Amino acid sequence: MWRRTVCPLSFVALAGVAAGSANATPLQDPYGTWTVQGENDAVSTLKGTSDQYYTSGLRVGWTSGTDNLPKPFHDLNQFLLGQGVQRVSLDVQQSIFTPHATQAVNPPAGDHPYAGVLLGTVNFINDTDLSRSVAGIQFGVLGPGGLGRQVQNGFHNLISDTPNKGWAHQIGNQPVFQVQAGRIWRLPIVNFHGFGMDVLPAVSGAAGDYRTYGDVAGTIRIGQGLKSDFGNATVGPGLDGTDAFTPVQPFDWYFYGGVEGQAVAYDATLQGNTLRNNSPHVSKTWDVGEIHAGLAVMWHGVRLSYSQNWQTAEFKTSRSGLFNYGSLKLSVKF
């Protein structure tokens, strides 16, 4: 039931959806937020997926305080996302993808291509009391310039582990760019003496020569201080720009679980270089489902979260079954 499918959404359509925000005033926050996030398939609940497929994600980001954007950016944010409390976020992220046969010098046909992706992200964020809207761009490089081989095998050498042997056959260098947008709604269900439960439906999408997809998601949270943020997020596809949090009290926490469905029109990490016929590639699946479960804790301007994520096959010849990985994120206010 959780393996949902949706129609691809364009950036313009999503920005139009986001413009219909509610007008309630959210909490103000003068402080910026620095975030470090790491994901790895070695941190998993099932065996047999270490160093295969989506094997590593790293991200460092900064999100501004509220309502301190220069006027041109303020006006653009309002034009795209409507009335609300404004922020901007900047981050750099790297994702590494490897085949199942990591010790083959020349990976077999039908296996996931080796690929490294290095991206910069710029997002406008617009909050109301019950929603967060995001619109922005991602740009960078896919291929050897993404430094996937150096990071993965360098780390393996550092811990005296066996390096992956097929990086000479990775997807070639290609500049990548995409526009993205989305919206999360926060719908309270229970609020009893600071203890609450809510639901976070979300819709997002992107279009470009990196990934083109539409995404729908839903999350249930149980805990205290749910108004502090709009849930958690992974490094991969889905709604970016959700690092900002405004603590309701000195100690907030919640458990959460959610489902997500993607309709994928294009994915360069699977389908290879856009303009090279001999690029390593596999046949993608157009429908991908995910389950997320985790915990978030906020204490005196520090937010720590962990999630376990399970994902259906992204390409037709995948051998992993239900692929899974862990995600750890630390955010600190300054």
- Mark the ranges of the chain whose per-residue pLDDT is less than 50: 1-23, 48
> What is the CATH number for 210?
2.40.128.140
CB 71 within 8 A of CB 35: no
Q: Which residue type does 222 have? A: I
Give the range of the structural domain holding residue 50, as residue numbers without chain letter: 11-333
Which residues face 175 on adjacent strands? 141
**CB-based contacts of 109, cutoff 8 Å, min separation 6:** none
Sign of CA dihedral 311, 55, 209, 10: positive
Phi, psi at 167, each rounded to 5°: -65, -20
E strands, 268-315, are 287-299, 302-311
Count of domains in the chain?
Answer: 1
Asked, for residue 85, whether it belongs to a domain, the answer is yes
Asked, for residue 1, whether it belongs to a domain, the answer is no
Which pLDDT score, from 0 to 100, does residue 161 have? 82
Query: Tokens 């915990």 — which residue?
Result: 295
- The residue length of the chain stands at 334
Asked, for residue 186, whether it belongs to a domain, the answer is yes
Question: Strand, helix or coil at 227?
Answer: helix
Q: Which residue from 182, 306, 191, 201 is spatially nearest to 248, judged by alpha carbons?
A: 191
End-to-end CA distance of the chain: give it in Å, rounded. Answer: 42
- Half-sphere exposure (CA, 13 Å, Cβ side) for 41? 24
Cα separation, 203 vs 133, in Å, equals 10
Q: Encoding tokens for residue 119? A: 């991206």
Report the alpha-carbon angle 214-135-236, nearest 5.
50
Which residues face 206 on adjacent strands? 180, 213
Sign of CA dihedral 245, 248, 251, 256: negative
CB atoms within 10 A of CB 279: 17
Cα separation, 127 vs 32, in Å, equals 15
CB 139 within 8 A of CB 176: yes
**CB-based contacts of 16, cutoff 8 Å, min separation 6:** none
Question: Strand, helix or coil at 144?
Answer: helix
Give me the helix-helix angle, 11-18 and 71-81, nearest 10°: 90
Asked, for residue 5, whether it belongs to a domain, the answer is no
- Cα–Cα distances (Å) from 330 to 62, 102, 246, in that order, read 12, 30, 14
Cα separation, 282 vs 326, in Å, equals 25
CB 110 within 8 A of CB 159: no
Reported pTM: 0.88
The DSSP line for 95-107 is: EEEE-S-TT-SSP
Cα separation, 81 vs 133, in Å, equals 7
Cα separation, 325 vs 130, in Å, equals 30
Cα separation, 260 vs 165, in Å, equals 33
CB atoms within 10 A of CB 132: 29
